[in-house]
Amino acid sequence: MVEPVLSVRNLRVEFANRRGVLVAIDGVSFDIAKGEVLGVVGESGAGKSVTGLAAIGLIDAPGRIAGGEIYLSGLRIDNLSPDAMRRIRGKRIGMIFQDPLTSLNPLYRIGDQLVETIRTHLNLNETAARKRAIDLLAEVGIPAPEKRIDAYPHEFSGGMRQRVVIALAICAEPELIIADEPTTALDVSVQAQIIALIKRLGRDHGTAVMLVTHDMGVIAETSDRVAVMYSGRIAEIGPVRDVVQNPLHPYARGLMGAIPTLAGDASKRLVQIPGSMPRLSAIPTGCAFNPRCDFAFERCRIERPEPIRVGAQAVACHLYDRAATESAA
């Protein structure tokens, strides 16, 4: 069996405050293979971005990884020193943030930032690094890259800045890219171009991509598999076509039922999930989704469900455990 590029096992992330310890991520496990795009979706506060930051070693105090293991191509990285993790970050793991201006220094030309990053991670002289920077800008779709390389970030549009950030993320040919809401602030037409670019990374470079977003349209268009997160846990994970067309977890069903379709019945109302995501200080016992779930029964309020394999999907829901028990009886 081929070793995954990223392997997360029982990840637990905690944040300490004056009132105690808040658990943001609780027992999350998943793998991402070479060339695969894993979409991570859920409401705000579900733990999507924190999972990505944990994978790249950017959980700052008062947060900490309190349990579990993270492996990059077989190397455990969650217990590395800050200096060792810094050498991996940028070279073997790239990051694409939601707002490109947080990744680009407004006081430096685009080319200077690219060349510095390239020379930090690759053994190239100034001339070779500049040529690689121009080639990267051309690859991500920047017109006239040999001229635009000397421009400042404010001279680029939002979509062009995001392309530059992607060029920064891939300049050292990393094995893994964490993309945190990379299309949120962009126009629809630019979103489509960035989506195509991310898909091409996996196809042409074999890069594994963890795509964090709340947009199911982006997930359906870009990802090979999707993980639906709720209150710091994975509610359901599986091939994107299966999860979109046949969601198993009641929360995943609600998310998919809330997506309008052009081919749908105009008289059919979209699904509305009652209530809201619980605060970290008030996560219910048992299944965290049980106060909002129409199918909850007594066990859901007492016992936390563990993932159950149903075909190509895995779902953390007692409904499927009960169905399996009843069919066996």
Q: In what order do the strands lie in the sheet with 63-72?
A: 20-32, 6-17, 63-72, 75-76
Average pLDDT over residues 251-275: 74
Domains identified in the chain and CATH numbers = 6-92+172-328 (3.40.50.300)
What dihedral angle (degrees, nearest 10) is formed by the CA atoms of 252, 237, 260, 97?
110
Highest mean pLDDT among 161-170, 305-314, 319-328: 305-314
- What pLDDT score was predicted for residue 151? 95
| Dist. CA 111–CA 130, nearest whole Å | 7
- What pLDDT sits at residue 260? 65
Mean of all residue pLDDT scores within the chain:
88
The H-or-E segment that residue 76 falls in is strand 75-76
**What does the pLDDT look like over 5-58, one tens digit per residue?**
999 999 999 999 888 899 999 999 999 999 999 999 988 889 999 999 999 999
Question: What is the rounded CA–CA span in Å between residue 212 and residue 38?
Answer: 8
pLDDT value, residue 206: 87
> What percentage of the chain reaches a pLDDT higher than 90?
60
Helix (H) or strand (E) holding 128: helix 126-139
**Residues near 169 by beta carbon (within 8 Å), at least 6 away in sequence:** 94, 95, 96, 177
**Full-model pTM:** 0.89
High-pLDDT (> 70) share of the chain, % = 94
Separation in Å, CA 1 to CA 4, 23, 36, 207: 9, 33, 15, 18
> Residue 313 pLDDT more than 90?
yes
Is residue 205 pLDDT above 90, yes or no? no
For residue 9, list its beta bridge partners: 69
pLDDT digit string, tens, across residues 117-138: 999 888 999 999 999 999 999 9
Instruction: Give the number of other Cβ atoms within 10 Å of residue 122's Cβ.
Output: 14
264 pLDDT higher than 60: no
- Tell me the per-residue pLDDT of 131-159, one tens digit each, with 9 for 90 and over: 999 999 998 889 999 999 999 999 998 88
Please give the Cα distance from 179 to 176 (Å, whole number): 10
210-236 mean pLDDT: 91
Q: What is the pLDDT of residues 267-293, one digit of tens each?
A: 567 777 888 889 988 999 999 999 999
State the residue for tokens 């898909």. Answer: 199
Vertex 261 angle, CA 258 and 266, to 5°: 95
Determine the pLDDT at residue 328: 45
